[in-house]
A and B are shown apart, each in its own frame.
Chain A
Amino acid sequence: QQQVKQSPQSLIVQKGGISIINCAYENTAFDYFPWYQQFPGKGPALLIAIRPDVSEKKEGRFTISFNKSAKQFSLHIMDSQPGDSATYFCAALIAGGGNKLTFGTGTQLKVEL
């Protein structure tokens, strides 16, 4: 069964700190790894995504680090702000393989003042 394991389940970070969320996958056929951000009562929104041919991708304060050999990837949020408080999901997909995203179980991030 295709799985994506996500940790931690919840995270509290002080304003200005670094938030780190980790994911691990099993299926080496996955070739697209997005992160989604979800606010309460809303649908998830694509935050940032990476392909396995690069080890890092940065967009503003958000960075994905990818370790192909370890089958792990992580989201780093630099200078975390209270507005970043949300639930974050990692996901993985096999392009052309039915396009089904397999999601992690989510991390509830709270950024405190």
Chain B
Amino acid sequence: DGGITQSPKYLFRKEGQNVTLSCEQNLNHDAMYWYRQDPGQGLRLIYYSQIVNDFQKGDIAEGYSVSREKKESFPLTVTSAQKNPTAFYLCASSGRQGVDGYTFGSGTRLTVV
């Protein structure tokens, strides 16, 4: 079945640690996105990539980094510079124009301990 797989489902991070969230898609989509979801704030765009080896900052990129070495994969690293990383992180993908809709993964819930 085609879709997006995010792992892990739950992740705990200690203060000062970097952690990497995985996102893999087998939809042959060109574009991939990372969103952060906090209660009452909707979905905010962190980074997006329209083609391999290229990506752009979204609205809240500070403290995050990404790579796009393969079309299928778009991992997100939450660095120690992100002061408030506890949130629900969602990865999505779309066709080149985006108007066929985004397909979202099931999310990763990150908690700082």
Chain A contact residues, CB within 8 Å of chain B: 6, 9, 32, 34, 36, 41-46, 49, 51, 89, 93, 95-96, 98-101, 103-106
Contact = CB atoms under 8 A, between A and B. Distances in A.
Contacts of B102: 34, 36, 44, 46, 101
A98 B48 contact: yes
- Ranked 6 nearest A-B pairs via Cβ: A99-B98, A43-B104, A105-B42, A46-B101, A103-B43, A103-B42
B107 interface: yes
B31 interface: yes
Contacts, number: 69
Interface residues of B, number: 30
Q: Is the interface of A mostly helix, strand, loop or mixed?
A: loop
Q: Report whether over half of chain B's contact residues are helix, strand or loop; otherwise say mixed.
A: strand
18 contacts: A9-B40, A32-B98, A34-B101, A41-B109, A42-B106, A43-B104, A43-B106, A44-B102, A49-B99, A89-B42, A99-B97, A101-B33, A101-B45, A103-B35, A103-B42, A104-B42, A105-B41, A106-B42
Interface string B82-111: 000000001010101111011111110100
Interface of B: 4, 6, 31, 33, 35, 40-45, 48, 50, 56, 58, 90, 92, 94, 96-99, 101-107, 109
Contact of A44 (B98, B104, B109): B104
Nearest to A97: B98
A51 to B, nearest CB: 8
